[in-house]
Structure formats: structure tokens, C-alpha cells
Structure 1
Amino acid sequence: MTPFTGSKLRSKLLSYFFTNPEKFCYVRQLGIILNADPGNLSRELCKLEREGIFISSTKGSIKLYSLDKKYPLFNDLKNIVFKTEGIEGSLRQLVSEYAGIELAFIYGSYAKGKEKGNSDIDIVVVGSFPRDEFTRKLRMLESRLNREANFSSYTKTEFVKESQIKGGFLNIVIKGKVILLKGNFND
């Protein structure tokens, strides 16, 4: 939880909606997704709507909430949430659990800032780590963030070799925009 977001519930809400910016959700639906009390969610969403971060619309008798993309600090708040509670922060925390992971980074549409609400998150992980356990924890993270994540793993030797092949997958990826989660390319 960041000092900016205030409460654990607010952090969950912001993380969920910034990870799924096209979503419109009703309170009970969010209660199930976030495993949170609908009454508390309703109060927090009302506060966030008063602050201008969320907007609501009514469809029949159901009130739907979504982020207000016209909020003046939308992009700043998105960056804070992503780096702490959202995709980046969660993935940083996951890879930091494994001492054998020497390098990890996000690439693709998310790293380029061109992701859509249903875009998957592409990750490269370099090092020696228990892949089955990592995969299980990544699937749990996917479920929490409601976003699919795919990872390619390499040993350090494989990564160095593959990244030097001109026109090869890794060579192209590391020349593009990436978001480092752990380590750096100079190690």
C-alpha cells in the first residue's frame, strides 16, 4: 500500500481498475473479484467518485463504476499504482522472492505503454529458479490482477547467446522498450 492510496481497499480498487482500465463494474461484482465487503466497497467508491478519480453510470437499477480517464492526475496516479501495487509492483515483488533470478523485465505492448485492458503481460526471466513454483505464483497473480502474463525463461548463458543473434527474438526485444523488474543488462 502506498501512502498516496491510503487504505488497503483503495489500493485493491485502484490496482484492479488501472490494470483493467476499460472495465465497468458494479459493487457486488467487485466484492467477488476483490474478496471485499460490498458495503465498504460502496463507501470507498463513493469517496473516489467525489474525488474525481472514478465515474459512475446507471444501467437499470445497477450502478457501474469505472476510472475517469479525464481525471487531471490520471496518468500520474496510474504510474504510481503500477509501480507499487499494480502489475509492475506485483511482478517486482514476485521476482524478488527468487535469489536465482538475475534479470527480469517486461516487454511488449505493456512496456511500450500501448496495452489495452485485455493485453497480456510479456516477461523475460533470466537465471536459475524453480519454474513450476514461479509459474504457480504467476497464475495466482494473474487471477488477482485479472490479466494474463506470459514468461520466457533463460539461463544466463542462453540469454547472453540468444540476445547477441542479430534479428533474433531477444536481440529485438532488448533493443525495444522494456521495464526492468530485477537486475540490469550490464551484469
Structure 2
Amino acid sequence: MLLKFFLNPESKSYLRELAEEFGESTNAVRLELNRLAEAGLLETTENGRTKVYQSNPKHPLFPDIQSMVRKFTGIDTLLEQVLSKLGKIDLAFITGDYARGRDSGIIDLVIVGEVDQSYLQKLIQKGESLIHRKIRFLVLNNKELEKLKETLKIKESIPIWGEGEKNHAL
């Protein structure tokens, strides 16, 4: 739950949504939400009959907790865990606007290898809700990558998995 609220402080959720997301009972989630709210780490607002929870950036421990959560989720470790579960991945990189330093709201992700696409789609949906950006993905094999390397502008991409330096020079 700390990840949900402290990775993205603007994230707002309500009890049933969180219970469904975490696959837990509403009672278990309610108990944790109440503890965090009583400690002042979460703020609550009423939306009709629904209580909405959000992190409290004014809490004196907010910066420390956010820092710990970010360290815990270190992007390298996170990517390694996620990508290793997807299948045999040779290379993954970001292209498009983000690779050029522009925040267009769309992240273009290219994965080279053999991937469980249904699992990837689930991860993409969760990732999009966390970062509030659309993630477009393209899965290729090595031959397809070779054909599309100019179109994808690989030299301008950001390698995030695999032999980035070697493949970056394709």
C-alpha cells in the first residue's frame, strides 16, 4: 500500500478499488488504511458516501517514506524482476518522445525476444495507472528489429534491458 500512495503522491483510491487491486478482503485493506490515516500518512476526503485516500505530503515523515519506497523499488531491480517473468528478452528500450526528452504522455517501449504478451498487457495496464502515462509496446524478434532499426531510431533510444551499449550502436 505504501508503494501505491508514495510512489505517486497524486494517486487517489478508495477501499473497494484497493481491495480488488491487491486481491485482499475489504476488511484487511480497511484496517491498513485506517492505521495509515490515523498516523497522518494518508489524507481522506469524502466523495458522496465513498472515502477517498491519498498520501499526505505535509506529514514530516513523507519525504523519508517516499525515499525508502523509491529505493525499495529501484528501477533496475524492478525491471529485472518484471522482464525476467515475461519470457526470454534480449533487449528492451524506450523510443519516441520520451527518448528525446519530451513528455508527450506516451511512452513507446520496444521489447526484443519471446514474450508472454497477455502477462505483458496486464503489467502495462498496471504501469499506466501508476505513472499516468499511456505505454505503447512493440514486441519484435531479432530479424524484425534489424529491419526496423532505422524506423525505430534505435540510436536515439534509451536502453533499459539487455546489452544496451552493444545494441545501442546498431
Give the TM interval when normalised to the shorter protein.
Answer: 0.5 to 0.7
Distance 1:61 1:93, change over 3 A: same
Give the whole-Å Cα distance in 1 for the aligned partners of 2:86 and 2:128: 23
Partners of 2:106 and 2:154 in 1: how far apart? 21
In 2 relative to 1, CA 136–43 (structure 1 residues): closer, same or farther, beyond 3 Å? same
**What is the TM-score of this pair, normalised by structure 1?**
0.60
Q: CA deviation at 1:144?
A: 4.7
Deviation at 1:123, TM superposition (A): 1.7
Distance 2:97 2:9 in 1: 15
Flag structure 1 segments of 5+ consecutive residues without an equivalent.
1-12
- Equivalent residue number for residue 171 of structure 1: 154
Q: Return the letter of the residue paired with 2:154.
A: N
Q: Which has the higher helix share?
A: 2
CA distance 1:161–1:181, change in 2 (3 Å): same
How far the C-alpha of 1:43 sits from its partner, in A, is 2.0
Among all aligned residue pairs of Structure 1 and Structure 2, give the percentage whose two residues are the same amino acid: 25
Matched, 1:45 2:33: yes
CA deviation vs aligned residue, 1:153-181 (integer Å, no higher than 9, x gap) = 33335545644x4xx4323641xxx3614
Q: How far 1:135 moved relative to its partner?
A: 1.2
Cα distance in 2 for residues equivalent to 1:109 and 1:51: 41
Distance in 1, matches of 2:161 and 2:41, equals 28
Please give the alpha-carbon distance, in whole angstroms, between the structure 2 residues aligned to 1:106 and 1:50: 41
DSSP-derived class of the 1:152 partner: strand
Cα distance in 1 between the residues matched to 2:159 and 2:30 = 34
The TM-score, its normalising length taken from structure 2, stands at: 0.64
Contact 1:95–1:182 (CA under 8 A) maintained in structure 2: no
For 1:16-35, what per-residue CA distance to the aligned partner results, in whole angstroms no more than 9, with x for missing partners?
44576543222123212322
Name the SS for the 2:31 alignment partner: helix
Q: Which whole-Å deviations, capped at 9, do the CAs of 1:87-141 have from their partners, x for residues lacking one? A: x72x5324214664211134567786958xxx555321123x1x5xx21111232
Indicate the residue corresponding to 2:63 in structure 1.
72
What does residue 153 of structure 1 align with?
A: 139
Q: How many residues align?
A: 158
What residue in structure 2 maps to residue 103 of structure 1? 91
Structure 1 or 2: more strand by fraction: 2
In the alignment, the residues of structure 2 paired with residue 107 and residue 54 of structure 1 have an alpha-carbon distance, to the nearest angstrom, of 36
Q: Distance in 2 between matches of 1:72 and 1:138?
A: 32
Alignment of 1:114-133 (within 5 A): 119=105, 121-127=107-113, 129=114, 131=115
Q: 1:162 to 1:60 in 2, by over 3 A?
A: closer
